[in-house]
Structures are given as C-alpha cells and as structure tokens.
Amino acid sequence: MRLHFSASDHDEAKTRLVHLTGFYGQTKIDDATHIIALGGDGHMLHVLQDTISYGLPVFGMNCGRLGFLMNEYADSGLHDRVAAAEIAPINPLRMKATARDGSTHSALAINEVSLLRQTHNAAHIAISVNDTQQMECLVCDGILVATPAGSTAYNLSAQGPVIPLGSGLMALTPISAFRPRRWRGALLRDHFKVVLDILEHDFRPVSASADGAETRHVTHVSVEQASDITLNLLYDPGFSLAERATREQFLT
C-alpha cells in the first residue's frame, strides 16, 4: 500500500500532514495506490476534482468542522483502516453552460450544480427534462441539481431531500421559489438530462456553479450524470455515506 497525502491550507491539516508523512512516508501520486485527504469537505471535493485522471480511491480524515464526507482523524493503524474500508462509488454531474457572450463552459460536480441570481432581480428559469419542458417559468433565487453525495449539503439547506447512495436518483431543488410557490422540487432518475434555460437573461442575470467552478451570465445550462467517471471514496465500516445519509434524515 502506497499512500499519497494531501492537506488543506488550514494549520491543523498542515500540522497533521507533517506528522503523518513523517511516519508513513509520502508517495508521489503517480506511484500511489491510495490518496489520504486531510481537511474538511471542501478539501475532499478539491482532491476528487484534481485527481480524477489517476482513478485512485480516496480516504479522507477530518481536520475541519463538519466533515460529512470524511472519516474521523487518527494517526495510528492507517494501513489497516484503508485496507478494511468500505467503498462508496460516486458518479459526478457534468455541467455544460453557455454564457451570454456565446462561450461554452464544462465542469464536473461531485456535490451539486447550482444556478443563482446575480442581482436583486429574481431569476426566471425554464426547466426541461429529457427534452420535455416540465416548467415554463420558475421564479426563484436559483435552482440546483444534487447527487446523493451532495444531497446533505446545499441541497438539504434548500429544503431538498436526502438521497440514499445507490438509489439511482438525483435531486432537482428550487432555491427560494416565488412562483410556483408550493413547488418543492423533484426526484429524477440519475440518467436523466436536465436543461435549464434562463429567461430574460440580460435583465435577470444568473450564474452557474459546478461545486466551486462558476460561470457568470449564463443563458443555457445542461446537467447530466458523468457515467463515464466513477470516484471511489473509502469509509470506515459502519460510517459509510449511506449510513450517514440515513442518520441525517432523523436529525432535528
């Protein structure tokens, strides 16, 4: 087992990086069999995005606050923990956005693709699923499409549903919807394609973000699962993402 360690910029994570690499060594990522991410959920997302081409499983240890995507930190027995870890396979979302100037932008999201109004004017967004228009105009602050892994993040804060890992679903959740007032979103099969068209985009500018990658002044955004990419997260037995998602639904 050859470990490559990656730490966030927080002091605690950097201190633990020095300690762990001194004990276990530091393998170059080209020669590694596993990646150990030290930090919080934000760093885990960065590691997953930056190392997609290597196809290595990632075991995260929390050096931040919440750390929903991370395991608990411990400096001993790391080889045994990684060897015994359960695998949580995740397919990211692929966002393709067209901006007002005609440029196109593509990005991957492990958690969610979110659209947000850029000014005081509410966004007006038409929603299509698999080439069929499902909503002529959603008046809102924004809308997001979340993976099961991301359903407990921004999606949950926006009153979206928690989605069990492996359910084959993704969440389409409005952000502060004004009209239709009672629409709370939809659960869609994860192989469906969602297209979001921005109405009156000059007067009502909207930005689109795939996790942290933002495109401003978008006019058209498509979101679908990147089924050709599988990311493997590792978790201690009994603390998998699926079990955490179940517990999250009973928190008050």
pLDDT digits (tens, 9 = 90+) for 70-124: 999 999 999 999 999 999 999 999 999 999 999 999 999 999 999 999 999 999 9
Question: Has residue 221 got a pLDDT over 90?
Answer: yes
Q: Quote the pLDDT of residue 151.
A: 93
Q: Quote the pLDDT of residue 76.
A: 94
Hey, which of 15-24, 58-67, 156-165, 234-243 has the most confident mean pLDDT?
A: 15-24
Q: Quote the pLDDT of residue 166.
A: 84
Q: Quote the pLDDT of residue 54.
A: 94
Long-range contact list for 120-125, CB < 8 A, 24+ apart?
A: 121/203, 121/204, 121/205, 122/178, 122/204, 123/198, 123/204, 123/206, 124/198, 124/199, 124/200, 124/204, 125/196, 125/197, 125/198, 125/199, 125/206
Percent of the chain with pLDDT over 90: 87
Label residue 245 by pLDDT band (50, 70, 90). Answer: confident
Q: Quote the pLDDT of residue 249.
A: 77
pLDDT digits (tens, 9 = 90+) for 134-171: 999 999 999 999 999 899 899 999 999 999 888 899 99
Active-site entry in 31, 41, 50, 197: 41
Q: Quote the pLDDT of residue 133.
A: 98
Question: Has residue 175 got a pLDDT over 90?
Answer: yes
pTM reported for the whole predicted model: 0.88
Domains of the chain: 3-90+230-248 (3.40.50.10330), 93-225 (2.60.200.30)
Q: Supply the DSSP string of 90-124, one letter for each residue.
A: EPPEEEEEEETTS-EEEEEESSEEEEEESSSSPEE
Q: Quote the pLDDT of residue 80.
A: 97
Contact 148, 161 (CB under 8 A): no
Other CB atoms within a 10 A radius of the CB of residue 106 amount to 12
Label residue 246 by pLDDT band (50, 70, 90). Answer: confident
C-alpha torsion angle, residues 239, 243, 248, 249 (rounded to 10): -170
Question: Has residue 251 got a pLDDT over 80?
Answer: no
The alpha carbon of residue 127 and the mean position of all alpha carbons in its chain are separated, in whole angstroms, by 21
Contact 21, 13 (CB under 8 A): no
Can 41 be counted among the known catalytic residues? yes
Q: d(Cα 222, Cα 88) in Å, to the nearest integer?
A: 26
Q: Quote the pLDDT of residue 242.
A: 76
Question: Has residue 205 got a pLDDT over 80?
Answer: yes
Averaged confidence pLDDT in the chain: 94
pLDDT digits (tens, 9 = 90+) for 1-36: 999 999 999 999 999 999 999 999 999 999 999 999
Label residue 212 by pLDDT band (50, 70, 90). Answer: confident
